[in-house]
Amino acid sequence: MRIIVAMDVQDGKCVRLTRGDFSTKKIYSEDPLELARNIEDAGIRHVHLVDLDGARAGHIVNHKILKAISGSTKLQIDFSGGLRTVNDIKGVFDSGTSSVTVGSIAVMDPDLFLSWLSEWGPEKIILGADCKNRKIVTEGWLKRSDSDVLEFIRDYSSKGIRFVACTDIERDGTMNGPAIGLYRDILEIDNVNLIASGGIATVGQIKKLAEIGCEGAIIGKALYEGKLELKDISRLC
């Protein structure tokens, strides 16, 4: 299972939120590039870089940070936040991202999303399926839709999506453990490689996610709060 470190960027700094609430923001690094180098030095190969400013603004804001990290490390970067146009997608790939996770456009403009999937392929276009009470949320988790998360994923699976990143927002940043029940249900959908996110706080929980069949796990707040250390999770890579 891939171990992926979350790097959420706002105002040029690495921060973490709790349950997607921007008022709970806590700064963990003033220098995202230095943090990225530390992650690479520990033996981690994958990061999930979230442009929180972009997610709220509806356009990419922190592309310079993406470019700096991709140009100075060998990390495999998955980028998310503010992706709304084909030029956005081209721009972040040109800036060095390996893949993108897209949620809002998959809800608001399915035809556009599927055109990106067709052009770049299912290895590079990851479906973002973040949810609250099993309903899909969009636009930096600020808007809740009526889409059931399982039906949402099942529909896109039938249209060629192979990788899905899912955060249960009620658990995100709480370090109360991942949504195992939800993830088990998602993994019953054919042809889905699931990247789990939200609430992960122990090595045992990471191993449990691997046991049920998750393809990847995104680790965030537990790492920054010291409940997990880079050396602990690097052993699992």
Asked if 11 is an active-site residue, the reply is no
The pLDDT assigned to 146 comes to 81
Q: Where are the domains of the chain?
A: 2-234
Residues of the chain scoring pLDDT < 70:
20, 139-143
Q: Residue 210 has what pLDDT?
A: 97
Q: What is the dihedral of CA 208, 136, 22, 24, to 10 degrees?
A: -40
Query: What pLDDT is attached to residue 199?
Result: 93
- In angstroms, the CA 37 to CA 8 distance is 15
- 68, two tokens: 């700096």
Spot the catalytic one: 51, 53, 88, 130: 130
Q: How far apart are CA 156 and CA 149, in angstroms?
A: 11
Give the burial class of 111: count Cβ atoms within 10 A of its Cβ; 0-12 exposed, 13-18 middle, 19 or more buried. Answer: exposed
116 is written with which tokens? 């990106």
pLDDT score, position 11: 92
Give the pLDDT confidence score for residue 143 in this predicted structure: 65
Nearest to 139 by CA among 174, 104, 111, 172: 104
Based on the residue annotation, tell me whether 109 is a catalytic residue of this protein: no
Model confidence over 134-146: pLDDT tens digits?
A: 999 876 555 677 8
pTM equals 0.93
The residue whose two tokens read 């870089």 is 49
Q: What pLDDT is attached to residue 142?
A: 58
Quick one: 2-234 is in which CATH superfamily? Aldolase class I (3.20.20.70)
- Look at residue 23 in the predicted model and tell me its pLDDT: 79
Indicate which residue of 8, 53, 78, 88 is catalytic.
8
